Amino acid sequence: MPDGISVPSYDRATLTPGIVHIGLGNFHRAHQAWYLHRLMQDGKAHDWAIIGAGVRPADARMRETLLAQDGLTTLIELDPAGKSAEITGSMIGFVPVEDGNGALIAQMADPAIRIVSLTVTEGGYYRNADGGFDAEHPDIRHDAANPEAPRTAFGAIVAALKARRASGAGSFTCQSCDNLQGNGDILRETVIGLARLDDPDLAGWIESHATFPNAMVDCIVPATGAAELTLVREFGIDDKAPVTHENFRQWVIEDRFCAGRPPWEDAGATLTDDVHDYEAMKLRCLNAGHQVISNAGELLSLATIADCMAHPTIRALFRRVEMDEIVPHVSPVPGMTPEAYVDLIETRFANPQIRDTVRRVAFDGSSRHPGFLLPVIRDALAAANPIDGLALVEALWARMCEGTREDGSVIEPNDPHWTTLNAVAIAAQDDPAAWLGQRAIYGDLGADTRFAEAFARWHRAIRANGAEAAIRAYLES
């Protein structure tokens, strides 16, 4: 490596596996894998190396790419004061991605594996419109009927736990690293709910023996494209899958691990018995804040989140919605008030070195709005607090889902349910209530008169005068 590039100081040939991670994308490599690498650099956790895994075709491409470079990853930190790069080596293998997930099940059934962690996106946990486990989803029905050849990560986890019960290997900890309030609780409901459909005795054993710690994860990690591939070459490194990230990380973990864990706290993670307030602050301020600005940015043809924050009107929208309508429903955590956290987020979002695209942040709104924004709206309505800006944000999303920007250019499909969203958004041009009638997203929230009236008012204003004029009207109100 060129001078100045940090590389693993540990002998990777002596590492042994302890973690299987499903969904090995950029965020995992810049976050959980980095924490483990940091421990290994200090001579710790050498028996906790990561085996990558996946259940989608894209995971097979990632496997091929990473195995070709021995599982090494270049992490490039994008600090406004300057860029730096390091090579991490905490991943030592990647199981074949195949129909039926036999290799994944066998790997998780290995007694050496003590943690199975996941990043499968907010919308990947099979939740129904009421927020519960969706036992009727076709994927879930398939796995319940074919427990030895499942198609989902959760079916593979159930099959592996069944094998471990039979072999006497004991359970492993299931650790979600996705942006969900109570992500461990949700993972638990999905795994046990699926097991119960086929084998209630196994479900009871999992409930008694496995643990599912909640956690809050935080680091802005853009997707890798041509610019990132050019950047890594500028460092003199030949990496086909580099990862860029901001100069900030946070990981708050509930300390519930049934089969041991690495000393995450020695690498800077916070171990606690109560993650809830940390989760709520991050999801409601940062993740909801991303949605506040990204849909407006898309409509106004802005490329990145930093571009949105450089737009005075969008930045003012972010600031007012956060302070007036979100912060009142967020509790402080040790060392941080909600107001100070919003200040921190504003600085992070504005970092011009982070080319985090508006398209990436606006992706999968059908999961992100119910997960990040709608709980705040419900709390605000219950407390008779302001919701005007949040209703405007929902109207901006509806307008974005029409599929065109204000300059007439086309917004390519950007949601797993884009076809439905696009059709409903077009119908809402004449009847705004049609958008709020999507019960899978809004539940009974669309029937709330105060919210529905505010949404319809802003939706009409956006369509009549454009997004920026509507935002200005809100800021002047």
Residues 194, 155 contacting (CB under 8 angstroms): yes
- DSSP-derived letter for residue 179 is S
- Tens-binned pLDDT, residue by residue, of the chain (477 aa): 888 899 999 999 999 999 999 999 999 999 999 999 999 999 999 999 999 999 988 899 999 999 999 999 999 999 988 899 999 999 999 999 999 999 999 999 999 999 999 999 888 999 987 789 999 999 999 999 999 999 999 999 999 999 999 999 999 999 999 999 999 999 999 999 999 999 999 999 999 999 999 999 999 999 999 999 999 999 999 999 999 999 999 999 999 999 999 999 999 999 998 899 999 999 999 999 999 999 999 999 999 999 999 999 999 999 999 999 999 999 999 999 999 999 999 999 999 999 899 999 999 999 999 999 999 999 999 999 999 999 999 999 999 999 999 999 999 999 999 999 999 999 999 999 999 999 999 999 999 999 999 999 999 999 999 999 999 999 999
- Cβ contact 306:358 at 8 Å: no
Exposed, middle or buried by CB within 10 Å (0-12, 13-18, 19+), for 77? middle
DSSP 130-177: TSSB-TTSHHHHHHHH-TTS-SSHHHHHHHHHHHHHHHT----EEEE-
By DSSP bridging, strand 250-254 and strand 215-218 are: antiparallel
Token pair for 293: 């600005």
Helix axes 449-465, 388-400, angle to 10 degrees: 50
Through-space distance between the first and last CA atoms of the chain, rounded to whole angstroms? 57
CA distances in angstroms from 287 to 201, 361, 368, 371, listed in the order given? 38, 9, 8, 9
